[in-house]
């Protein structure tokens, strides 16, 4: 019996030694302790202990006498019994996990209710990130981003460079669609910072791409969303987003590695003032794709 068979038997929940002993018994049909020891290289005393475990699993029977003989049950029956046993164990494990999940959720919900009024407004969180233009390689960061979009209640403001919003439109569109289950008023405002270009042709090409991105976002957003996208020519900017005026997300680099810095209400208040200043600037140009997408939604 080769290593490949031993590995396959281990998939049935057997240890390596148990699989080796069982394979040796199956090969001969029935064996004594000394024969199994010779075939596997396992000490006879250990084989006695392993035989007990194999018997408990329903794979062998022991015939007591001198010498002790161990006989393998028909392999098709024995392994099918193991499959049934593993299924039962898996179901029980899932049941335990689901029970634990409900208990943890209840506990955390109670804790959330108690501590919410005492929220730390100046909290900071640093999340590793690739960029808006490519999926993050960090599941915890991805889950945090998804949760943030699912929890948006009234407003999402974003300042982003034209390069990032064009290259990352698919990902941002996916995040925006997380709000699709909302039935109440939500306002999304995106301010795109366009770099100065030397030729009018380059300017028109860029504005056309931004309009296509705006159309894509319109299709992602729920009908109850008021969506507006404006562009402003100026210096390049790092992306930052404000969620409900209570949380702000800054893109930054630590060395060569990109991160997201998540700040609380105090930082969000500062970022919100800057956003409003540029958003209401006479130089901010509203995108034509959003002009016809302002539904009659009463603000709460």
Q: Say whether both 54 and 113 belong to one domain.
A: no
Looking at the chain, list the stretches that DSSP marks H as alpha helix, in order from N- to C-terminal side. 3-10, 16-28, 33-40, 44-56, 75-115, 139-150, 162-167, 169-176, 200-220, 265-279, 288-291
Q: Say whether both 23 and 161 belong to one domain.
A: no
Of 278, 260, 165, the closest CA to residue 217 belongs to 165
Residue 20 domain flag: yes
- The 10 Å CB-count burial string (b at 16+, else e) for 15-33 is eebbbbbbbbbbeeeebbb
Q: Say whether both 158 and 283 belong to one domain.
A: yes
Q: Say whether both 100 and 50 belong to one domain.
A: no
Q: What is the mean predicted confidence (pLDDT) over 77-104? A: 83
The pLDDT value given to residue 157: 94
pTM: 0.58
Question: What percentage of residues in the chain have a pLDDT greater than 90?
Answer: 7
Residue 281 domain flag: yes
Q: Are 75 and 26 in contact (CB under 8 A)?
A: yes
Where does the pLDDT of residue 291 fall: very low under 50, low under 70, confident under 90, or very high at 90 and above?
low
Residue 155 domain flag: yes
Statement: residue 297 has pLDDT above 50:
no
Statement: residue 298 has pLDDT above 60:
no
Residue 251's CB: how many other CB atoms inside 10 A?
Answer: 20
CATH of the domain at 252: 3.30.870.10
Q: Are 211 and 169 in contact (CB under 8 A)?
A: no
Find the domain containing 214 and state its range.
121-291
Q: Say whether both 45 and 112 belong to one domain.
A: no
Q: What is the mean predicted confidence (pLDDT) over 237-263? A: 83
Where does the pLDDT of residue 292 fall: very low under 50, low under 70, confident under 90, or very high at 90 and above?
very low
The pLDDT value given to residue 295: 47
The pLDDT value given to residue 276: 92
Beta sheet of 30-32, edge-to-edge order: 30-32, 69-72, 60-63
Q: Say whether both 137 and 251 belong to one domain.
A: yes
Tokens linked to 194 = 């366009």
Task: Report the C-alpha gap between 58 and 180 in whole angstroms.
Answer: 53
The pLDDT value given to residue 236: 60
The pLDDT value given to residue 257: 77
Q: What is the mean predicted confidence (pLDDT) over 146-170? A: 86
Q: Say whether both 264 and 205 belong to one domain.
A: yes
Domain count, the chain: 3
Q: Are 7 and 13 in contact (CB under 8 A)?
A: no
The pLDDT value given to residue 189: 93
Q: Say whether both 197 and 210 belong to one domain.
A: yes
Work out the mean pLDDT of the chain and round it to a whole number: 79
The pLDDT value given to residue 123: 61
Instruction: State how far the alpha carbon of 98 is from the alpha carbons of 70, 88, 91, 104, 106, in Å.
Output: 41, 15, 10, 10, 12
Q: Say whether both 10 and 87 belong to one domain.
A: no
Statement: residue 120 has pLDDT above 70:
no
Q: Say whether both 215 and 94 belong to one domain.
A: no
Q: Say whether both 209 and 140 belong to one domain.
A: yes
Q: Which residue has the higher pLDDT, 193 or 1?
A: 193
- Which tens digits make up the pLDDT trace of 161-220? 888 888 888 888 888 888 766 656 789 999 998 887 667 778 788 888 989 999 988 888
The position carrying tokens 């319109």 is: 218
The pLDDT value given to residue 296: 45
């Amino acid at each position: 019996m080769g290593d490949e068979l031993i590995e396959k038997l281990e998939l049935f929940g057997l240890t390596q030694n148990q699989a080796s002993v069982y394979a040796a018994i199956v090969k001969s049909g029935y064996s004594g302790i000394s024969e199994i020891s010779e075939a596997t290289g396992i000490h006879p005393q250990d084989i006695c202990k392993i035989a007990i475990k194999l018997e408990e699993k329903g794979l062998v029977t022991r015939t007591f006498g001198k010498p002790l003989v161990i006989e393998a049950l028909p392999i098709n029956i024995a392994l099918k019994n193991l499959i049934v046993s593993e299924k039962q164990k898996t179901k029980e494990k899932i049941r335990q996990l689901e029970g634990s999940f409900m208990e943890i959720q209840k506990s955390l919900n109670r804790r959330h209710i108690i501590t919410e009024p005492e929220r730390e407004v100046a909290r900071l969180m640093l999340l590793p990130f690739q960029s808006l233009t490519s999926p993050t390689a960090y599941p915890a960061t991805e889950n945090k981003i998804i949760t943030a979009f699912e929890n948006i209640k009234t407003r999402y403001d974003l300042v982003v460079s034209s390069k990032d919003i064009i290259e990352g439109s698919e990902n941002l569109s996916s995040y925006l669609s997380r709000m699709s289950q909302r039935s109440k008023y939500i306002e999304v405002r995106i301010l795109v910072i366009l770099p100065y270009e030397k030729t009018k042709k380059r300017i028109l090409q860029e504005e056309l791409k931004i309009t296509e991105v705006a159309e894509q976002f319109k299709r992602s957003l729920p009908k109850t969303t008021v969506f507006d996208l404006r562009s402003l020519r100026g210096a390049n900017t790092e992306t930052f987003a404000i969620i409900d005026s209570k949380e702000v997300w800054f893109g930054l680099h630590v060395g060569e590695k990109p991160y997201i810095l998540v700040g609380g209400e105090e930082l969000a208040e500062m970022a919100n003032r800057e956003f409003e200043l540029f958003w209401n600037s006479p130089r901010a140009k509203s995108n034509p794709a959003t002009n016809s997408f302002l539904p009659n939604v009463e603000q709460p």
